[in-house]
Structure 1
Amino acid sequence: MSDQSEFFAYGYRFAALDDVKQAQLEHQEQVYFETKLPREDAHKMLAIYDKILDEKIFVTPVGWSFLLKMQENLRHLNVEEDKIRPIPVYATFTHNPNSENSALRQRITTPEKRKEGNAGIRISIFLNVALCILVIAMFVISLNSNNPNILNYKSNLENKYAAWEQELTDRERVVRQKEADLLEGPEAESGEKAETNE
């Protein structure tokens, strides 16, 4: 574990190094705001204070102390107390084992919930396997189907055109045969007529 001196910043001791870094950022923003604040204009100062609260710029005690100074400046500028919004603090500072929060934490971390989570993972894996099998079955059906689709359209079209070509070749042969018969028929008749005239 790190040395505890790393967790000190601006008169506060923090539980984590990330909180120290956040406090340092808030101190830099505090310095910036102090140079830019309109100290004599109550309306503008109140608007800046409200904007800082809305954007949740300050979340550590370092920033909250700056907000307390701003509240005091607003009071000195005779801003009504009900117009000065309270500083929101989203942290719990007391530990009461009998409180609702601890009961809620215990409900969240019970082993039964973990078992339900494992069951959910098993169901998810089962459903994923079933869906994969269905997708593979759809591909097999699509590949073996006679109807053209994106998987077998080339072979289906080649087969269809080959069948058409064979059919046209057969018809052409029949037509040529009939033409040959028709052409032979008048020559044969004219030859017979010539023989009978002689």
Structure 2
Amino acid sequence: MSEKKKVKINGFVFTDEAEAEQAKKEAHGIHYVEERADMHHPETVLEIYNKMVKQELFETAVGFTYLKELQEYLIQNPSINNSDILPISVTHPVLEESLRKKLRISAKNRASEKKASKKTDGYRKKYEITLFISVILAVSVIGMFIVASTSDSPTIINYENKLIDKYAAWEQELDEREAALKEREQTVEEP
């Protein structure tokens, strides 16, 4: 029996290549957020945290650990109402896929023990269940794309642009006020 390759990411060891790749993506995303977001303001941290939780961006221990650190920071901050902090929904796709494989294997073993006429019925039921699950998953994916494309709220990808636009609007407002103030000063000095 061959030993699985181990990949270490942010202090966690992954033996599943797909999960390790997902953990790398999550670590990169965390680094991206911390570079571009102002994490010194609790309100900004709360907004980013809640969006990440709602969008269920993380699937590995790397992402969940980061969310937990943000959650602890927000809970300890007296300026944040704890009821505004969303709980972290934990799912584990690798474990779920492993369980699905075991269920498929046990279903195949039971089907092979039945008579030939019952095998056809067993496969048909499996086909119907798989088809039903596939349709539900396809509808869910299409729904997620529709929600993502029609949503005006900033995501982790366009959050930087939203912040830049906000600061640009403030700067423009300050410039207009400054120009109005200079104009008033000139009219006061002229008499």
Specify the TM-score bucket, using the shorter chain as the normaliser. 0.3 to 0.5
Q: TM-score, normalised by structure 1?
A: 0.46
Structure possessing the higher relative contact order (Cα contacts under 8 Å, 6 or more residues apart):
2
- Structure showing greater radius of gyration is 1
Q: TM-score, normalised by structure 2?
A: 0.47
